[in-house]
Amino acid sequence: MKVAKSTMLLYAVTDRTWLGNSTLAEQVEQAIKGGATLVQLREKHLDFKAFLEQAEELKKVTDRYRIPLIINDNIEVALACDADGVHVGQDDMAAGAVRARIGEDKIIGVSAETVEQAVQAEKNGADYLGVGAIFPTSTKLDTEPVTFDTLKTICSAVSIPVVAIGGINEQNIMQLKGSGIAGVAVVSAIFAQPDIMAAASRLADLARKAVE
């Protein structure tokens, strides 16, 4: 399944750290109303049952707005809730093996930090790449930032959409202009903000300028 470049514009990655009095489904709906074009459910510490329940809740929201829902790492949860796709890291299952499990009609995203990893992921059947971390980020403390030049080279080396991820916010997003990315993936720049819908709206506007 090929992903439309426009679907990658503002990729919202969930984090329950900032839930407060809201549910994750409510926050995701606010993000979509603001302009998020794709949602990834990222849960590193939930058991299968709790992860699946969360995924099913979000799927109702994303289906209502016709926005794809991607599950981070967990193929079993993605299959069980009929998510639109899966995102895997370099240390997880290779894209070819994921494809064999989830079928031809689902989206597969792969994380990449180097040109070699990016090219290999595309060869293995990835539909898009998440490249980063671009800026220092509290979500991933053990990664070296990917330089602008590397990001640009990756975008030129593959024919699938590339999404920049890692520490991206309203202040630095325009530094990515001219790199060739299809969009940006953000966590705290949406979900840690007091007005999620407004934050997503501002980021979506900036992302359109950054990908021109």
Amino acid at site 140 = K
Residues 6+ positions from 63 with CB-CB distance below 8 Å: 69
Q: Please report, for residues 42, 92, 148, the alpha-carbon distance to residue 187 in angstroms, rounded to integers and kept in the order given.
A: 10, 21, 20
- Residue 203 is inside which H or E element, if any? helix 196-210
pLDDT of residue 137: 75
pLDDT of residue 24: 98
* Beta-ladder partners of 39: 12, 69
Q: Of the CATH numbers 3.40.50.620, 3.20.20.70, 3.10.20.30, 1.10.10.10, which one belongs to the domain with range 5-210?
A: 3.20.20.70
pLDDT of residue 142: 66
How far apart are alpha carbons 112 and 103 in whole angstroms?
Answer: 22
pLDDT of residue 2: 74
| Residues 111 and 89 sit within 8 Å (Cβ to Cβ) | yes
How far apart are alpha carbons 195 and 143 in whole angstroms?
Answer: 29
Active site residues: 42, 111, 140
pLDDT of residue 144: 79
| Residues 127 and 108 sit within 8 Å (Cβ to Cβ) | yes
Residue spans of the chain under pLDDT 70: 1, 139-143
| Residues 74 and 51 sit within 8 Å (Cβ to Cβ) | yes
The three-point CA angle 143-107-124 to 5° equals 70
pLDDT of residue 141: 64
pLDDT of residue 74: 96
65-116 pLDDT tens trace: 999 999 999 999 999 999 999 999 999 889 999 999 999 999 999 999 999 9
* All structural domains of the chain with their residue ranges: 5-210
